[in-house]
Each structure stands twice: as structure tokens, then as C-alpha cells.
Amino acid sequence: MIVHLSPFTVSADPRREIPSGAGSRSDRIEAALATLAAEEQRLARLGLELPMARCREQRRYWNFLRALFSLPEAAPARRPNPGVFTWPGDRIQ
């Protein structure tokens, strides 16, 4: 049996593409988190434990994405300069 869970809000739909621009991407993630926080509060007021737990799972996913996309981009790899030694033991005597 395969169960496809639908997102709680349109902005939190993980099937939607995440924008490539940093600002748009951040806006998308923050909108998803804001709407999920409001939905979780609504579910708590109604006492719906299982949907509230599912909502929390989606919030963890979007918090993970926020953390992931907040990491600085890695500098492109460069070949080491053969005349520059980076470790004391690298120098051959």
C-alpha cells in the first residue's frame, strides 16, 4: 500500500520547484515555515494530534532546507601550487 501525503499548505508543497535565486529561495522557505507554523497552531487548538505530528514533520523538512541553503557556497576546487607547501611535513628535504 502506497500512501501519498498531501502538503498542509500550498507554499509548503515539497513537489514545487525551489527557486534558484538566493532571495527567492529564502522567501519560499520562510513562507512555507510561516504557513506550517500557523497550521500547527490551528491543529493544536482543534486537538488533532496525528495531523499535528505530520505538520511538525513537514516543518522539520523545511527547517532542514533553510539550514542547508544558509551554508556558504564552497569555493571552486583549485589545483595546489607545487611551490607552496600547506603542511609542515609536505616539504621534502
- Gap between the Cα atoms of 63 and 57, Å rounded: 10
pLDDT band at 1 (very low <50, low <70, confident <90, very high): very low
pLDDT band at 89 (very low <50, low <70, confident <90, very high): low
- Gap between the Cα atoms of 56 and 62, Å rounded: 10
Domain count, the chain: 1
Cell numbers found for residue 26:
529564502
Per residue in 29-67, pLDDT (tens digit) is 999 999 999 999 999 999 999 999 999 999 999 999 999
DSSP state string for 4-69: -PPPSSGGG-TTSPPPSSHHHHHHHHHHHHHHHHHHHHHHHHHT-HHHHHHHHHHHHHHHHHHHHH
In a domain, 54, yes or no: yes
In a domain, 30, yes or no: yes
In a domain, 9, yes or no: no
The larger pLDDT score, comparing residue 73 to residue 63, is at 63
Among residues 61, 19, 58, which one has the least CA distance to residue 36?
A: 58
In a domain, 3, yes or no: no
| Domain limits for position 44 | 22-72
In a domain, 56, yes or no: yes
In a domain, 14, yes or no: no
